[in-house]
């Protein structure tokens, strides 16, 4: 879950590495470091952010070849010593690494027995020493890296340089992304295109088990058995401007505010007003095959999982196909029964989430039909699945997902409409959903105008140590996502429960010091939800209600009223005020909004 940047070319590497690392800091930010090659290896690294590193990099830190890294700790506490790059004992080899070497303990013990002294607690340092040993026995750096990786068990995205070969960088991937950037007589590599788009939009994605050698005049790729592989460059749609804050105080607020535009892009070209259907050609399924599925299973992690719960509800309601969502991190470990009549849907904003990717690979091994809902074109999951839906939401930089979450929910509405119309969803209901989807962007804009009011509410509720979020049926995944947002960026403890489950245990927690955020849409369960509010109020609990109208009785201390859409689509709108609530609570508590502690954006390790 770290950020890697590499450069080889005629320019000074250090400024390019530092700028790229700043764009990747959302992937890891407890320490950082760079190394450049110029008559030996010059290294600077430190605990802290890329800005802290920039302060200790001298002005004359010259060299046209270098690698950089932002770290999210897995082995060893954040410290100067544990920061990457890691060097071999003879200072010849430098390595940066994203992932986890599972047999690092065994490899480390062998190296210590051979007299190697370690300078850090990391698993990565074993690679530097092993590659240095292999380099003494081989003519090329690429062969030394390839030989070393044969002994490695685990996941990695690595970049390696050799002081004795100052014109090349070797990179390798297994379970952790590496993207090559093709410049004009210069080459780049990174763990995310965010670090590359300022310099080039021509990229090549490495597959698992692939390595590449980068020189200023080009690159070549090869498999772990040394067999050459052919790669075709892709042109990425995003540019450097997509990674700027655009005048907003935080990326998170920018991304919340972009949602009218991002969900419009998700729907663009996919709604048919004549037949009231959704066109999803990327699924690679004809109508006969689509009708053959008898169940839908959705897998994702974190917010992607909660959006999957919204998606399962949409598919059941509109297509009348039994559907459910499950955490991808648990799915593959319970030896799931893979049914040929089940359509599996994998969700990942980055398309690189390791748990989800591994689950997809397990499904493919067992013959499952898997489609993906991802944001990053050309990502690992996008390449692995049989078809899918790209979100086109643009890059999401803040660790907490907002615009990708709402775009994913809209993508599920499109999928549910598509499945429903090839089955039993009537043209009238199809028209109703299409018209509802068309209204969403304007309704989100309307909700965003309440930001100042929600900020005042956040000031009041953020003083509590814990909060409860409740909702029924369609409202329950909204409550779960709302609780997730609050705790991950404000550090206020939050739990989400189905409203009907409160009286089966959690009601014991309710009191003046435990406020409840209640999701109360104006649907067939309105009266039951209002009864739950009465139960909370009777026990002295404070209530912040999010719904479509003020309750008739004094059942809530505060109310956020939002526009009403079709009942199936209302959950998409109900999430927006909860995003604002979490954001303003985090600001009120002076949290690091875009980079919450202990978390990283793209989770590429188990």
The pLDDT value given to residue 436? 98
215 flagged as catalytic? no
Q: Where in the chain is the domain with CATH 3.40.50.10490?
A: 251-589
Single out the catalytic residue among 2, 254, 301, 564: 2
301 flagged as catalytic? no
338-354 confidence digits (pLDDT tens): 999 999 999 999 888 98
Residue whose pair of structure tokens reads 């670090």 in the numeric block: 195
The pLDDT value given to residue 469? 97
Q: Taking Cα atoms as reference points, which of 384, 67, 56, 1 lies closest to residue 208?
A: 384
Q: Give burial (CB, 10 Å; 0-12/13-18/19+) of 287.
A: exposed
Single out the catalytic residue among 254, 297, 595, 601: 601
225-239 confidence digits (pLDDT tens): 999 998 989 888 777
Using CA atoms, how far residue 283 sits from 234, 315, 323, 411, 518, in Å, is: 21, 16, 18, 12, 36
**CATH code 3.40.50.10490 for 251-589:** yes
pTM over 0.75: yes
The pLDDT value given to residue 236? 83
CA atoms of 431 and 449, how far apart (whole Å):
28
| Cα 419-421-425 angle, rounded to 5 deg | 105
Q: Give burial (CB, 10 Å; 0-12/13-18/19+) of 280.
A: buried
Q: Which residues of the chain have pLDDT under 70?
A: 1, 27-28, 240, 601-602, 604-606
Q: What is the 3-state secondary structure (H, E, C) of 263-287?
A: HHHHHCCCEECCCCEECCHHHCCCH
The pLDDT value given to residue 451? 97
Which pair of structure tokens corresponds to residue 354? 């390791």
Q: Where in the chain is the domain with CATH 3.60.20.10?
A: 3-242
The pLDDT value given to residue 605? 61
The pLDDT value given to residue 410? 98
**CATH code 3.40.190.10 for 3-242:** no
């Amino acid at each position: 879950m770290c950020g890697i940047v590499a450069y080889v070319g005629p320019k000074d590497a250090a400024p390019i590495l530092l700028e790229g690392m700043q764009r990747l800091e959302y992937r890891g930010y407890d320490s950082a470091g760079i190394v450049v090659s110029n008559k030996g290896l010059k290294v600077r690294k430190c605990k802290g952010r890329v800005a802290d590193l920039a302060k200790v990099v001298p002005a004359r830190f010259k060299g046209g070849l270098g690698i950089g890294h932002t770290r999210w700790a897995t082995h060893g506490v954040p410290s100067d010593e544990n920061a990457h790059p890691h060097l071999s004992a003879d200072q010849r080899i430098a390595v940066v690494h994203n992932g986890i070497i599972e047999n690092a303990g065994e490899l480390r013990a062998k190296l210590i027995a051979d007299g190697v002294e370690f300078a850090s607690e990391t698993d990565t340092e074993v690679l530097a020493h092993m590659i240095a040993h292999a380099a003494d026995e081989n003519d090329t750096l690429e062969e030394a890296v390839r030989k070393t990786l044969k002994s490695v068990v685990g996941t990695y995205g690595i970049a390696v340089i050799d002081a004795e070969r100052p014109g090349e960088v070797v990179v390798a991937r297994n379970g952790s992304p590496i993207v090559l950037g093709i410049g004009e007589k210069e080459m780049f590599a990174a763990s995310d295109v965010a670090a590359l788009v300022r310099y080039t939009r021509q990229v090549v994605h490495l597959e698992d088990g692939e390595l590449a050698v980068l020189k200023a005049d080009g690159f070549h790729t090869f498999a772990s058995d040394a067999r050459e592989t052919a790669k075709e460059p892709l042109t990425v749609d995003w540019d450097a401007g997509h990674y700027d804050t655009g005048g907003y105080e935080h990326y998170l607020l920018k991304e919340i505010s972009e949602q009218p535009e991002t969900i419009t892009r998700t729907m663009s070209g996919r709604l048919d007003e004549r037949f009231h259907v959704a066109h999803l050609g990327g699924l690679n399924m004809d109508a006969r095959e689509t009708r053959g599925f008898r169940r839908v299973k959705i897998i994702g992690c974190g917010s992607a999982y909660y959006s999957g719960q919204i998606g399962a509800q949409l598919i059941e309601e509109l297509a009348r196909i039994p559907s459910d969502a499950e955490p991808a991190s648990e799915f593959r470990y319970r030896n799931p029964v893979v049914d040929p009549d089940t359509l599996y849907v994998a969700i990942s904003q980055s398309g690189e989430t390791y748990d989800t990717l591994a689950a997809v690979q397990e499904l493919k091994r067992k013959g499952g039909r898997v489609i993906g809902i991802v944001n990053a074109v050309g990502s690992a999951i996008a390449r692995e699945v049989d078809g899918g839906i790209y979100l086109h939401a643009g890059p999401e930089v803040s660790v907490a997902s907002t615009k990708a979450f709402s775009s994913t929910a809209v993508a599920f509405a499109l999928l549910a409409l598509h499945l429903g119309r090839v089955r039993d969803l009537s043209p009238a209901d199809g028209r109703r959903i299409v018209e509802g989807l068309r209204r969403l962007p304007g309704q989100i804009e309307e909700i965003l105008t309440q930001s100042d009011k929600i900020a005042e509410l956040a000031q009041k509720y953020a003083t509590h140590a814990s909060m409860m979020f409740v909702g029924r049926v369609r409202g329950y995944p909204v409550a779960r996502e709302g609780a997730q947002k609050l705790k991950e960026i404000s550090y206020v403890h939050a739990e989400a429960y189905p409203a009907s489950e409160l009286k089966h245990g959690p009601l014991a927690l309710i009191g003046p010091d435990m406020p409840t955020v209640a999701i109360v849409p104006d649907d067939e369960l309105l009266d039951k939800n209002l009864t739950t509010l009465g139960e909370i109020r009777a026990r002295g609990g404070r209530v912040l209600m999010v719904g479509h109208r003020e309750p008739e009785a004094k059942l809530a201390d505060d109310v956020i009223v939002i526009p009403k859409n079709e009942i199936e689509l209302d959950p998409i709108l109900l999430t927006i005020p909860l995003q604002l609530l979490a954001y303003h609570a985090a600001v009120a508590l002076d949290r690091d909004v875009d980079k919450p502690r202990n978390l990283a954006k793209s989770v590429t390790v188990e």
